[in-house]
Structure 1
Amino acid sequence: MGLFPSSFFGQKIDMSKSKIICLEKKDPLVINAISVLKDEIEKRSGIVLSRENKFPKHSQNRMVIGLEGGLNKFPIEYQQLLGTMPVTNKEGYKIAMLPKDNVVLVVGHDSRGVLYGIGKLLRKLEMYPGQILLPNDVNISSTPKFSIRGHQMGYRPKTNAYDAFSVQQFDDYIRDMAIFDANSIEIMPPRTDDDFTNVHMKIPAIEMIAEQSKICDRYGMDVWMWYPNMGSDYTDPDSLKVEIEERRQVFKAIPRLDALFVPGGDPGDLEPDELFNWLKIEADVLHEYHPNAKIWVSPQVFRPTKAWFDAFYGHINKEYSWLGGVVFGPWIKTPIKEITDRINPGIPIRRYPDITHNLSSQYPIPHWDLAYAITLGRESINPRPQDQKIIHNAFDQYAQGSISYSEGTNDDVNKIIWSDQDWDPETPVMETLRDYARYFIGPKYTETVSQGLMALENNLRGPLLNNAGVITSLQQWQDMEKQASKEVLGNFRFQMGLIRAYFDAYQYRRLIYETELEQHAREILSTAKAIGPINAIVDAKDILYKAKKEPVMSEWKNRCLALADDLFESIGAQLTVEKHFAAGGRGNFIDNIDVPLNDGMWLIDQLAIIEKNGSESEKLVAINQLLERNNPGPGGYYDNFGTPRSWNRVVSNKSYAEDPGGLKSPRVSFGVGLKGEEWVHEITAIGFDGHTTPLSWMNQVTSLYDEPLKMIYNDLDPNGSYVIKVAYTGRFRSKIKLTAENTLVHDFITTGVQPIYEFKIPTAALQDGVLELEWTCGEGERGAQVSEIWIINQNELIKE
């Protein structure tokens, strides 16, 4: 039995002495699938399985691989067993076992089905050095529910790891995706909204995309290409000539290309008539080299109008011969259900889910804590298995499947979840995670790593300050770390989980520590009248500076830095700009590891101004105003939408499971975006007039486009005289209008010019003691964002 007694494993059969039996001698996809099976078993167990092209006389210790069309050549016992199983269709497979003979059958409905059946078998095998075990109840008949299942792998400098891949690493990674059900890979042309090259890229992009195409073809996978419109003018003949020649060179270089995805925008900004005229020209060039390829297009535009959408869908419904379908992805205003209502029946939709970003994205982490948003940032290592299943299943019935938007390896777990859900949306998340852990890390880690990944997602839920589970999660990963072999410690997938566990725990401890330091500093400032304003300012600043001078849990930080180096070595992951040459604002979350988590920077900035100006009495007044900043006065309300309590005011008619993208319901957002500052995938504390901003300006409740943002305040004084102060900050600027009970509070103003506005609340809006507020944007705007609200009862202030 090898290294482990059979009793240790329970009901498992030993496949260590198996021979691979396959009668197929000509089909290249089946032959390559057999190589995948042999290679992956040898890689994990050291066992080299031999292959035979005929059935030997003895009937034991076999892995029998075949096509349904060749079953008449199988032994009658095998035919009968397979015949009792449900029928399969395109890309489907059957896995059947004869435990008494240590025999497993893998039969594909077609050539691709053989690969997916072998992938499923590999995921269920327990492979140890010198031994291969298989549970004796692996009997499966399965056909994918969705025909498009894949992921984007752009070889460009903007990614957080792909740009460092060699050809072999792409082969390995694409194979991994195929083993977990993917049948498509989306590549990118050499010219996108990015540089042409960087220090990581092993070969020119035009050569690598040709290699990616060859790899996919070897596995029988479809090749898609995301090709944005980067030209300066698509009506000028000279500009068009440049665009056409570029595409001719790209399409010629790629041996296989099945579909072209052209986003309507981001980048690119064409009106629909101009866009579709260009797509017709592009299709002609495409068909010179890939005559069966289709073009898919998305209604993606940053400032959408009704006229734009009417024209876009008008073109779609003409059903041009070159049109493949519509792509639903990030920053598309129209919900996918509405797209199905607007296009002709039979026009397919492909989803383009953003599984790679945490915020300012299609599916941001709901109600995410600001401490995580400013440290983990937009593109960290982000396993979100439960959320991904919710997002997938919310709209899967409207599409033919999906090819995810990915910027590297940070979303590795999410890719596997999506592919498994595209195969079968009924698959439990934990089953996929167990397969992931068993196959990629090792069978001894099936439970520990799968549970550890779930724990990392739970780390992200709710307020960090009271999430003690973060420490438990680290302890669990540390237990695995202590017991791990050198090979496991060098496994990039294990490293990604481990670094997140350390990083999360470090932020948790820092948040507790820095929150207490800020409270202590505020308490000192409250004694300014007794000890003098200058002494209070000096002492408060000394306390706040302790966050840098006397940091907590430096050993956890140091472990993160070491693991960042390990990931750069193992997979080319770029988690810092200076050391690992990451693209700024992308996957470099380790650069944010010590970003302040309290209002210390803002307080120090404000105290420096107070210290330099005014008399002692004026300094005391200024200090008091600083401490009382959030106080709305007697009978008033203050809300900061970085806190769960304030979200209780927000009206939402849809749950997260119904609207995870927030197209019809409010969602969380981050960023300051004031006084000409442009948001560049980072959340910074610099804002108005160059001064540090309070944390409250960095977190908003947001509604997208022209969807109204509504809030309700109860129990106000019907006879009161109220004003509202509101902070308009956030990633993007919009023209926004506020009404109360359908009465105008302020007409359209452009946000981003100043942070805080103050308006009188109409008396008519308060007659029943309930204040209903509604923000709306003009047509074509990005959306409404609100970070703070003060409701102030001026009658009560007068009484004071």
Structure 2
Amino acid sequence: MKKTITLAFLLFLLSSLHIAYAQKADLSKAQIICPEKNDPVVLKAVTVLREEINKRTQIQLPVLQAWPKKPAATNIIIGLENNLQSIPAKYLSELATLDAPGKDGFRLLAFDGSNTILVAGHDSRGVLFGIGKLLKSMEMEPNKLLVSAGLRMSSTPKYPIRGHQLGYRPKTNAYDAWTVAQYDSYIRDLAIFGANSIEILPPRTDDDSTSVHMKLPAIKMIAEQSRICKEYGLDVWMWYPNMGSNYTAPDSIKKELDEREQVFKVLPKLDALFVPGGDPGDLDPDTLFSWLEKEAVVLKKYHPNAKIWVSPQVFKPSAEWYGKFYKHVNDGYDWLGGIVYGPWIRTPLPEVKKLIKPNIPIRLYPDITHSLSCQYPVPDWDIAYAMTLGRECINPRPEDEKYIHNFYANLAQGSISYSEGTNDDVNKFVWTSQDWDPSVAVIDNLRDYARYFIGPQYTEGVAQGLLALERNLRGPLLANDQVQRTLQQWQEMERNAPVWVMSNPRFQSGLIRAYFDAYTQRRLIYEISLEREARNTLENAKTLGVKQTISEARKTLSLAHEKPVSQELKARCYALADSLFRSFGSQLTVEKHHAMPGRGNFIDNIDIPINDALWIFSQLSKIEKLSTEDEQLKAIHDMLHRTDPGPGGFYDDFGSPSAWKHIKPQKTWAEDPGSLESPRVSFGVGLVGKDWVHEIVAKGFEGEATPLAWMNQINTLYDTPLVIGYDNLDKDAEYTLRIAYTGRFRSSVKLEADGVLIHNYTRMGTRPMYEFQLPKEVTKDGKVTFSWVSGKEDSGEGERGSQVAEIWLIKK
């Protein structure tokens, strides 16, 4: 009986394996049949299919232009849906059972009982996108080409604008290092995932005109970018800020128009010009629209169908500025394509929608490239990550990007993202995939990404690994047990990876983050313990003596550099940074890879102190200069008790999630990912000479260092009030309010407590610490609510927002 069951079970397994194999069509000996003879985009799409298959499998599929008298057993039929009459009727009749697609759409069908695949595009680009879907569905390895036999779909993109900005300029962290061939490859990759638009930049922007990496002058490279897009049938946009000094004087206007003429005439294709209202290039709306009318004349001279899109971006937006801007938009111009909604626009998108006429389209300009001080910062981010990974690290955020995309997408016609390089590579492909179909689960987008770019054996490992990297960034790093597991998952893939995977920049990008995150966590645990030990030593200064105590505390804190932890992880990060520079042009260090400081060079921050050691060192140097031991002992006590509010008092560091219980947000992150109407945590000291903590460290911290708590703060943007409340106060007591004002913005803020003015508009950035005696009337009910609003009286409207790093409520 046992043998019978075993035999039956084996037969069942064999049958199951046969069925599983049968579900895959073997296309390794297929021939491509494409009846199209004239359409260059369709013919280019066929080339894309053949080249991408050959690149991954070394299989070269033949191409026929007509149905052969003796067809092969395996065929891939490609063409426009209205130009497939020459293929057998049985295929056309089966194709007709699928819904007809719309613009850019396609029908894709794998026929039962044969290894025949049919890709029929509604239009030329539809053929390209259908081939893209086929490629993403294939399992491609050396001498192996399989595809699911169950492919059957009609697909039309949800949104008509789907693209990304690829700016050839030094400020990016990779693009300026690319060759023409690399641009061609990357643009092709984006098209395969459904992008139909690429945004390029003119030679003159708010940046240097050249870099050590550039292979061609900018004017030649943008012509190549435009040519590449034209060959793939993609739309070409150009972001063109107004960098001139005067747009009213005739001589200045002529100079600007002459420059545009030189740029526009070298581009083989240009479909739309995006001119930001500001950031950079602020102009009064009357001047702006008068200038755009003149610019439109030159644009149409070379690209008659091109339109100009404009954004309400401006550094200090006032109600008057916005009023004029939207009046011009609604007045209507024949050259106006629509408006662009991007970073640092003060008005929430739903309100913008109400301010413009219904027939005026909106294009999104989402910042998918930055992690802090940006449109959509990483929520609940540990300061150790903010200081090391920084603003422009490798930042796969698939779940965030899907959520943000779907939150805003229905208010616009699609998007072209703001990107500064390859650090946001995963985000680009997630965003484009969601622009095509926002109903698809993001894990399926990641599986397509992993299967196509790295290989079918890595589909699940890399897809889940990218989700794990995003989870690494959530919450306090000290307590995040995900980080070690993420490293182990990536190391397991690394151990078994062949050379061609290890040299793949997309695999390297995920791998370096797994190592970097784990190294940062281990260093944080170590350095926090060293700081605690040094503080314990300093608490015994009276017993040990000031000189010996300071010496021992310094030795303890110095162990972070003299006996560092996990150097094998750090070494792996350096090696991968070199590999990424070779493979992807990624500039992860300033000295070795010639990155622009603060632009993707997060490897330079790999050993930045992530405890309070630098501040303690600077305080100890000051203490040693005091004349008596009693003064020194008092100074040590004050240093150790810096955050102590005294008996019955309150203290909060608003970079810490635990302090948020006092904050009264208007909306949650899920309701307001761009935090235009609710608080966010921001990073950066923002004092004169101390803008960014990693820049200070790079300079060796000459002068006085700042406490770690000043490196982040609670922040609201523009005139959204910052409201913080305390209860359980002593109703009979008097309180002193001490505030640390730090942050990136030099805003002017006013503070009220329960409607009582505590201080009028005060400019931030000149000094951090302020102290005020609270009127007893505001605490007599046992609670108090503080409200900050960003400046109007001091400097007019449009200040960047209120920022508070620390609060002490000290009971008298």
- The normalised TM-score by structure 1 is 0.97
Match of residue 556 from structure 1: 569
- Once the two structures are TM-superposed, the CA of residue 156 in structure 1 deviates from its matched residue by 0.6
Could you say if the C-alpha distance between residues 675 and 455 of structure 1 is closer, same or farther in structure 2, counting changes exceeding 3 Å?
same
Matches within 5 A, 1:423-462: 423-462=436-475
Contact 1:409 1:573 survives alignment (8 Å): yes
The alpha carbon displacement at 1:171 in A equals 0.2
Given that residues 671 and 684 in structure 1 are in contact (C-alpha distance below 8 angstroms), is that contact kept between their aligned partners in structure 2?
no
> Amino acid of the residue matched to residue 209 of structure 1?
I
Question: Which residue of 2 is the match for residue 495 of structure 1?
Answer: 508
Give the Cα–Cα distance (whole angstroms) in 1 for the partners of residues 336 and 656 of structure 2.
Answer: 46
Is structure 2 residue 733 aligned with structure 1 residue 716?
A: no
CA distance in 1, matches of 2:568, 2:385: 20
Q: Measure the CA separation in 1 of the matches of 2:557 and 2:702.
A: 23
Q: How far, CA to CA, are the matches of 1:118 and 1:685 in structure 2?
A: 48
* 1:272 alignment partner in structure 2: 285
Match for residue 67 of structure 1?
A: 80
The structure 2 residue matched to 1:248, chosen from 250, 261, 268, is: 261
Paired with 2:253 and 2:697, the residues of 1 have a C-alpha distance of 40
Q: Quote the offset at 1:184 in angstroms.
A: 0.3
1:168 equivalent to 2:205? Answer: no
Offset, 1:677: 4.7
Q: Which amino acid aligns with 1:262?
A: V
Equivalent residue for 1:598? 611
Separation in 1, partners of 2:31, 2:417: 37
Aligned CA distance change for structure 1 residues 153 and 6 (closer, same or farther; 3 Å): farther
Please list the CA deviations of residues 742-769 of structure 1 after superposition, one character each: whole Å capped at 9, or x if unmatched.
1212111111111011112232222332
Q: Summarize the alignment of residues 605-620 of structure 1 with structure 2, pairs less than 5 Å apart.
A: 605-620=618-633
Deviates more, 1:635-644 or 1:545-554: 635-644
Question: Where do residues 684-699 of structure 1 align in structure 2 (5 Å cutoff)?
Answer: 690-699=703-712
Give the Å deviation of 1:679: 5.6
Aligned residues: 790
2:594 maps to 1:581: yes
**CA displacement at 1:673 relative to structure 2:** 1.3
Structure 2 residue 140 is the aligned partner of structure 1 residue 127: yes
2:326 is aligned with 1:313: yes
Answer whether contact 1:190 1:196 (CA < 8 A) is retained: yes
Equivalence for 1:788: 806
What does residue range 227-306 of structure 1 map to in structure 2 within 5 Å?
227-306=240-319
Bigger mean CA deviation after superposition, 511-520 or 57-66? 57-66
Alpha-carbon offset, residue 71 of structure 1 = 4.2
The counterpart of 1:32, out of the listed 31, 44, 48, is 44
1:664 correspondence with 2:677: yes
State the partner residue of 1:357. 370
Aligned partners of 2:21 and 2:486: how far apart in 1? 27
Identical counterparts, % of pairs: 59
CA 1:602–1:405: 2 relative to 1, 3 Å: same
Cα distance in 2 for partners of 1:312, 1:295 equals 15
Contact 2:685–2:693 (CA under 8 A) maintained in structure 1: no
How far off its partner does 1:681 sit? 9.3
Do 1:585 and 1:680's aligned partners in 2 also have CA atoms closer than 8 Å? no
Return closer, same or farther for 1:188/1:753 CA change in 2, 3 Å cut-off.
same
Aligned to 1:517: 530
2:773 maps to amino acid = K
Give the match for residue 714 of structure 2: 701
2:754 maps to: 741
Contact 1:685/1:693 (8 A) holds in 2: no
Q: Is the 8 A contact 2:388 2:694 kept in 1?
A: no
Distance in 2 (CA, whole Å) between partners of 1:418 and 1:599 is 38
Deviates more, 1:630-639 or 1:672-681: 672-681
Q: Partner letter of residue 792 of structure 1?
A: I
Q: Which structure 2 segments of 5+ residues have no match? A: 1-16, 792-796
Give 4+ residue runs of structure 1 displaced > 6 Å after superposition. 5-8, 685-689
Q: Which sits farther off after the overlay, 713-722 or 197-206?
A: 713-722
AA at the equivalent of 2:62: S
Residue 18 of structure 1, aligned match among 11, 30, 49: 30
SS at match of 1:359: coil
Is the 8 Å Cα contact of residues 214 and 256 (structure 1) preserved in structure 2?
yes
| Greater mean alpha carbon deviation, residues 51-60 or residues 290-299 | 51-60
How many angstroms does 1:74 deviate by? 3.3
Per-residue CA deviations over 1:137-162 (Å, capped at 9, x if unaligned) read 22121100100000000001111111
| Equivalent runs, 1:559-570 vs 2, <5 Å | 559-570=572-583
SS of the residue corresponding to residue 758 of structure 1 reads strand
Residue 416 (structure 1) aligned with residue 434 (structure 2):
no
1:23 deviates by: 1.2
Counterpart amino acid of residue 416 in structure 1: F
* Contact kept in structure 2, 1:394 and 1:659, CA below 8 Å: no
Please name the residue that 1:47 is paired with.
Answer: 59
Structure 1, gaps ≥5 residues long = 795-800
Match of 2:559 among 546, 558, 571: 546
Following the alignment from structure 2 to structure 1, what is the Cα–Cα distance between the partners of residues 465 and 315? 38
Check conservation: 1:378, 1:682, Cα contact below 8 A: no
1:456-471 matches, cutoff 5 A: 456-471=469-484
Taking the aligned partners of 2:131 and 2:775, their CA distance within structure 1 comes to: 69
Deviation at 1:647, TM superposition (A): 1.4
The CA distance in 1 between the partners of 2:100 and 2:268, in whole Å, is 34
Q: How far, CA to CA, are the matches of 2:23 and 2:590 in structure 1?
A: 50
Helix, strand or coil: the match of 1:617?
A: helix
Paired residue secondary structure (1:648): helix
Kept in 2, the 8 Å contact 1:262–1:297? The answer is yes
Q: Which residue of 2 aligns with 1:217?
A: 230
Instruction: Tell me, in whole angstroms, the C-alpha distance in 2 between the residues paired with 1:662 and 1:687.
Output: 34
- 1:406-438 Cα offsets, whole Å, 9 max, x none, are 111110000001101111111110000000000
SS of 2:113 mapped into structure 1: helix
- Residue 60 of structure 1: CA displacement? 3.1
In structure 2, what is the Cα distance between the partners aligned to 1:219 and 1:757? 60
Distance 2:108 2:550 in 1: 73
Q: Which whole-Å deviations, capped at 9, do the CAs of 1:495-547 have from their partners, x for residues lacking one?
A: 11111111110000000000000000000000011111111111111100110
Please, which of 347, 354, 361 is the counterpart of residue 334 of structure 1?
A: 347
Identify the residue that residue 797 of structure 1 maps to in structure 2.
Answer: none
Q: CA 1:579–1:688 in structure 2 vs 1: closer, same or farther (change >3 Å)?
A: closer
**Aligned equivalents of 2:330 and 2:699: distance in 1?**
47
Q: Which amino acid aligns with 2:439?
A: E
Inter-partner Cα distance in structure 2 for 1:10 and 1:536: 75
List per-residue Cα deviations over 1:87-121 (Å, max 9, x = no partner). Answer: 21000111111131011111111111000010001
Report how far residue 291 of structure 1 moved: 1.1
- Equivalent residues in 2 for 1:739-778 (5 A)? 739-778=752-791
Q: 1:6, 1:12 within 8 Å by CA — same for their partners in 2? A: no
Q: Which amino acid aligns with 1:320?
A: Y
* Structure 1 counterpart of 2:132, one-letter code: G
Partners of 1:313 and 1:595 in 2: CA distance? 46
Contact 2:684 2:691 in 1 (8 A): no
Give the counterpart of 1:84 among 90, 97, 103.
Answer: 97
The 3-state SS of whatever aligns with 1:307 is: helix
Q: CA deviation at 1:367?
A: 2.0
Cα distance in 2 for partners of 1:680, 1:641 equals 17
- Deviation track 1:423-470 (CA, whole Å, cap 9, x = no partner) reads 111111000000000000000000000111111111111111111211
1:100 aligned residue:
113
Quote the Cα distance in structure 2 between the aligned partners of 1:112 and 1:348: 22
The answer to whether the 8 Å contact 1:251/1:286 transfers is: yes
